[in-house]
Amino acid sequence: MELARPYLLFLGDAPDALAAKTAAGIVDWRRDWCLGQLRLEGCRADLGLPEMSPAGAAAQGVRTMIIGVANAGGTLAPHWIETIVAALAAGLDVASGLHMRLGDIPAIAAAAGRHGRRLIDVRHNTLRLATGKGTRRPGKRLLTVGTDCSVGKKYTALALERTLRQRGLDADFRATGQTGIFISGRGVAVDAVVADFISGAAEWLSPANAPDHWDVVEGQGSLFHPSFAGVSLGLLHGSQPDAIVLCHEPARRTMRGVPAPLPGIAECIALNLACGRLTNPAIACVGIAVNSSALDRTAARHYLDGLAAAHGLPAVDPIADGVDAIVDRLLAVVP
Amino acid sequence: MELARPYLLFLGDAPDALAAKTAAGIVDWRRDWCLGQLRLEGCRADLGLPEMSPAGAAAQGVRTMIIGVANAGGTLAPHWIETIVAALAAGLDVASGLHMRLGDIPAIAAAAGRHGRRLIDVRHNTLRLATGKGTRRPGKRLLTVGTDCSVGKKYTALALERTLRQRGLDADFRATGQTGIFISGRGVAVDAVVADFISGAAEWLSPANAPDHWDVVEGQGSLFHPSFAGVSLGLLHGSQPDAIVLCHEPARRTMRGVPAPLPGIAECIALNLACGRLTNPAIACVGIAVNSSALDRTAARHYLDGLAAAHGLPAVDPIADGVDAIVDRLLAVVP
């Protein structure tokens, strides 16, 4: 799926900033693609973008309205429908990362048909995927992997893309989850594909490319998460990364959503490398990315220095420190 | 889902015997249910059943035609449609284990409606699955794992169920693929669930049970298969097996369907145990099951003796030798 740009970000009646975190992520990483925001009465989120109506957005050149707000249950609120229909009538596509499909709402489906616009449910891909083949393909690839879910794999991948580009290298972030897809305009929600096609989806996502091109693939889950490890392994095999970056959140006490302990960092790196060798024998770990927001800066510095010494790898907080140290190592290890 | 019996087995234009393994498995374990086979021009598989047309099968009392041929992408060949429509017209239900739904093909859907027959897609369960939790549950579990796809994991599991029952133990084969579902009448095609729910499907399949009850879970794929390893890992985590049996086919030169080498047996056992410990720290390997049909009996005996000595495990061909030696070890290791 490919989203037409630029975007209008629909914030609905988000009760707080956190409810609009999908939209906030898009603005953080793709400010230039976001021409405006559309807020309903009672909305408490504000991304600082110009307020636009659907018609006003269309007049400014907007091509897609993104439903950038989540509510409890992941459903689409009935009082949003009128605005979505107005966006379609104004000539915009509408894209959503909600569980509920836009096209399952009759008024929205009818309006899309009437105005010839696309409804894009990024959680429900309609690709005809092939099974993974494991064959080596040209181009370089990096995958962010994690000790757990929600430890910063997407942010780390985006920071790596940005830094590689700043250094004049050809690099593309490859999205594997809904927010990432809005940020990159393209991608596949790998946790939503049929299980036989996980590695095939990853191969589709990062196809053969120029020998010096970097795909920076957003990781999902963890090989140590009892709910989602299968997704992580298929993504590892299909991405056939030359390099991995291990992502970790030191304040986490149990795996997200289940009462299981977190793996050790060395153990997690080792299993990712052992499994990754199946499709790329040269796979190497080039750094550790830590979400240290729960620590003060002194404690974070101490913790990161300890990790770097223990594992012989650059260890950074991508948001606080940037990822230059990891990119330095990456370019030394994979020339 | 309850399939009406007996069956007519549709082999299509299977290019070799392995492509018709679904049909062959049904014949091997439920010969009494299979009245005939239907082969198209160019078919190179032969199950030795009477050749029947749809009308001839209906006259013999057949109730369901099983699409007994598989291919890597799980697609339905357009030139099969005419025969499927003829089966429905003759009064048969049609059951398929392909990824593609029978009812998504307009000519087939129309014929089923016209003749009032059922279309049964065993790969498309209508369960509302939960994500896996990894929590320990009572009951004993064995999972067959493999160096590759199609190396005898289902046969080994069925043979283990049969032998455990012969010894008076309470044991159930748990089907995870289409053939197993046709054989057992129950199960979930784990390669067809949404990727987020692989381990959840395995937990549903082998729920909490009596402390001395054995679930013998049919393995899928291989942790070393670049197409399907994610399915294998989710199944391993969700099954939380007390014991695994490693299945292998020594004549195999590359992984099925891809030009990758096979893993070593020790390496394959070690990775399954390392990953399996996440949800069952006591996991142990209790035997090696070999499909030695490509070897003569002397060579097979020599090969199996060598494996047993090298790995300190019983090594048998389940079809030629039975699985008593593995069950002996199983009951010694997991009292």
Write down the pLDDT at residue B314.
98
pLDDT tens digits for range B134-173: 999 999 999 999 999 999 999 999 999 999 999 999 999 9
Do the beta carbons of residue A39 and residue A51 sit within 8 Å? yes
| Shortest alpha-carbon distance between residue B214 and chain A (Å) | 22
Residue B313 pLDDT > 80, yes or no?
Answer: yes
3-state helix, strand and coil shares in percent for chain B, rounded to the nearest 5: 40, 15, 45
Residue A19 pLDDT > 70, yes or no?
Answer: yes
The set of residues, in sequence order, having a beta carbon less than 8 Å from that of B163 and lying 6+ positions away, is B322, B323, B324, B327
> Do the Cβ atoms of B133 and A226 come within 8 Å?
yes
Q: Which residues pair with A7 in a beta bridge?
A: A34, A64
pLDDT tens digits for range A36-88: 999 999 999 999 999 999 999 999 999 999 998 876 666 889 999 999 999 99
Do the beta carbons of residue A186 and residue B184 sit within 8 Å? no
Write down the pLDDT at residue B184.
84
> Do the Cβ atoms of A194 and B198 come within 8 Å?
no
Backbone phi and psi for residue A277, each to the nearest 5 degrees, phi listed first: -60, -20
Interface of A with B in 134-193 (CB under 8 A): 134-135, 190-193
pLDDT tens digits for range A177-222: 999 999 999 999 999 999 999 999 999 999 999 999 999 999 999 9
| Lowest-confidence segment of A119-133, A280-294, B104-118 by average pLDDT | A119-133
A233 contacts chain B (CB < 8 A): yes
> What six digits make up the tokens of A305?
């220095």
Strand, helix or coil for residue B239: helix
Report the residue of chain A nearest B274, measured CA to CA: A271
Q: Which of B227, B230, B258 is opposite residue A230, by nearest beta carbon?
A: B230
- How many pairs of residues across A and B have Cβ atoms under 8 Å apart? 135
Write down the pLDDT at residue B251.
94
Is it true that the peptide bond before A335 is cis, omega within 30 degrees of 0? no
> Do the Cβ atoms of A196 and B192 come within 8 Å?
yes
Q: Which of A133, A227, A260 is opposite residue B226, by nearest beta carbon?
A: A133
Q: What is the pTM of this model?
A: 0.90
> What six digits make up the tokens of B116?
């009032």
Other C-beta atoms within 10 Å of A267: how many?
A: 14
Mean pLDDT of chain A: 95
C-alpha span between A228 and A244 (Å, rounded): 18
C-alpha span between B132 and A260 (Å, rounded): 12
> What six digits make up the tokens of B321?
């030798």
> Do the Cβ atoms of A193 and B194 come within 8 Å?
yes
pLDDT tens digits for range B65-108: 999 887 666 688 999 999 999 999 999 999 998 878 999 999 99
Q: Choosing among A99, A124, A126, A196, which should be mutated to test the B contact, i.e. which has the most B CBs within 10 A?
A: A196
Sheet containing A64-67: which strands, arranged edge to edge? A34-39, A7-12, A64-67, A93-96, A119-121
The set of residues, in sequence order, having a beta carbon less than 8 Å from that of B150 and lying 6+ positions away, is B18, B21, B249, B256
Write down the pLDDT at residue B179.
86
CA angle B231, B236, B237 (to 5 degrees): 100
C-alpha span between B239 and B334 (Å, rounded): 16
| Shortest alpha-carbon distance between residue A217 and chain B (Å) | 17
> What six digits make up the tokens of B284?
């142990």
B275 contacts chain A (CB < 8 A): yes
Task: Enumerate the residues of chain B whose CB falls inside 8 A of the CB of residue A271.
Answer: 274-275
Residue scoring higher pLDDT (B19 or B279): B279
DSSP label of B115:
H
Average confidence (pLDDT) over A246-275:
96
> Do the Cβ atoms of B258 and A134 come within 8 Å?
yes
CA angle B264, B267, B272 (to 5 degrees): 125
Write down the pLDDT at residue A109.
97
Q: Which of B73, B230, B278 is opposite residue A226, by nearest beta carbon?
A: B278
DSSP label of B243:
E
Report the residue of chain B nearest A199, measured CA to CA: B227
> Do the Cβ atoms of A230 and B226 come within 8 Å?
no
> Do the Cβ atoms of A196 and B99 come within 8 Å?
yes
Task: Enumerate the residues of chain A whose CB falls inside 8 A of the CB of residue B74.
Answer: 196
pLDDT tens digits for range B215-269: 999 999 999 999 999 999 999 999 999 999 999 999 999 999 999 999 999 999 9
Residue B183 pLDDT > 80, yes or no?
Answer: yes
Write down the pLDDT at residue B2.
73
> Do the Cβ atoms of A132 and B275 come within 8 Å?
no
Write down the pLDDT at residue A72.
64
| Shortest alpha-carbon distance between residue B144 and chain A (Å) | 17
| pLDDT bracket for residue B64 (50, 70, 90) | very high
A265 contacts chain B (CB < 8 A): no
| pLDDT bracket for residue A326 (50, 70, 90) | very high
CA distances to A125, A250, B106, B195 from A129, in Å: 10, 37, 22, 14
Task: Enumerate the residues of chain B whose CB falls inside 8 A of the CB of residue A231.
Answer: 195-196, 198, 230, 234
Q: Which of A199, A224, A226 is opposite residue B199, by nearest beta carbon?
A: A226
Average confidence (pLDDT) over A3-25:
93
Distant-in-sequence contacts of B187-191, Cβ < 8 A, 24+ apart:
B187/B122, B187/B218, B188/B125, B188/B127, B189/B97, B189/B122, B189/B123, B189/B125, B190/A195, B190/B220, B190/B231, B190/B234, B190/B235, B191/A194, B191/A195, B191/A196, B191/B123, B191/B220, B191/B221, B191/B228, B191/B231
Strand, helix or coil for residue B95: strand
Burial class of A198 by CB neighbour count within 10 A (0 to 12, 13 to 18, 19+): buried
Strand, helix or coil for residue A38: strand
Write down the pLDDT at residue B190.
94
| Shortest alpha-carbon distance between residue B230 and chain A (Å) | 4
Q: Which of A230, A235, A278 is opposite residue B234, by nearest beta carbon?
A: A230
For chain A, give the percent of residues with pLDDT over 70.
Answer: 99
Q: How far is CA B53 from the centre of its chain?
A: 27
Burial class of B111 by CB neighbour count within 10 A (0 to 12, 13 to 18, 19+): buried
Residue B125 pLDDT > 80, yes or no?
Answer: no
B224 contacts chain A (CB < 8 A): yes
> Do the Cβ atoms of A223 and B260 come within 8 Å?
no
Write down the pLDDT at residue B186.
80
User: ipTM of the predicted structure?
Assistant: 0.92
Burial class of A78 by CB neighbour count within 10 A (0 to 12, 13 to 18, 19+): exposed
The closest of B200, B7, B182, B170 to B87, measured between CA atoms, is B7
Q: Could you please report the per-residue DSSP string of B6-47?
A: SEEEEEET-SSGGGGHHHHHHHHH-GGGEEEEEE-TT-----
Start-to-end Cα distance in chain A: 32
A235 contacts chain B (CB < 8 A): yes
Residue A297 pLDDT > 90, yes or no?
Answer: yes
The closest of B213, B165, B161 to B184, measured between CA atoms, is B161
> Do the Cβ atoms of A231 and B195 come within 8 Å?
yes
Which domains are delineated in chain A?
7-121 (3.40.50.720), 140-333 (3.40.50.300)
Exposure string of A17-26, with b = 16+ CB inside 10 Å and e = fewer, is eebbbbbbbb
